[in-house]
Amino acid sequence: MCTNVVDEFEKIQDQLNALKWGTLQADFNDANIIFNDLGDQVVGLIDFGDIVYSNRINDLAIAMAYMTLRPPVGFTTVQTAATFLQGYCQTMDIAQKELNMLRILVACRLACSVTLGAYSSMQDKSDNEYLQLHAAPGRKALLAFWNVDEQEVYLLFQKAADEGLKCRLRETKVRQIIVGGTVGFVLISSFLKGLLG
């Protein structure tokens, strides 16, 4: 399976080179996010050992891959990845060319986790729990994710991106109305104060 993923990745190299590039943290996962004491707000990020200059879309693909390791009850791996994508698109833009490559890039990260986890475990015979943190769930997630019909994944990702964008546009419109209303209120108040002296 990992070989199939790598073969598909190699086919998109020219397309990847045309996408936006940037500096990536390259390891967004639940083990690298610091939450406040209540656990409801992100207050920090750790583990910058994987920082790399690459396609910006890879940070999203990596985060989506990690989300598939433990899907919420009632969600498939693809639905979990799509839900994360929708949230991302509520705050960030994603080009259609990037969206079209996400399936392969998510699978690539899962394949990397599986392969590196297996290799590291073979090298370290101490039953190091950290080395197994993503290896076993990564294999299960990769099998579940990669075996979903390619077109189904693209359609679900497209819908998620569209819904995220719609939410962002609604929120922007609401903010504009609120700001417009506030500005109008300030102007009317200032006008009335001027009239009434």
Which CATH number covers residue 145? 3.90.1200.10
Domain count, the chain: 1
- Burial state string for 59-97 with b = 16 or more CB within 10 A and e = fewer than 16: bbbbbbbbbbbebeeeeebbbbbbbbbbbbbbeeebeee
Question: What's the domain range around 22?
Answer: 2-170
For residue 183, is it within any domain?
no
For residue 194, is it within any domain?
no
Provide the mean pLDDT of the chain. Answer: 83
For residue 146, is it within any domain?
yes
pLDDT tens digit string along 58-100?
999 999 999 999 999 999 999 999 999 999 999 999 999 999 9
For residue 115, is it within any domain?
yes
For residue 34, is it within any domain?
yes
pLDDT tens digit string along 117-155?
777 777 777 776 766 666 778 889 999 999 999 999 999
Percent of the chain whose predicted confidence (pLDDT) is above 70 = 83
Dist. CA 152–CA 147, nearest whole Å: 11
For residue 182, is it within any domain?
no
For residue 184, is it within any domain?
no
Residue 2 confidence (pLDDT): 84
For residue 125, is it within any domain?
yes
pLDDT tens digit string along 102-125?
999 999 999 988 887 777 777 777
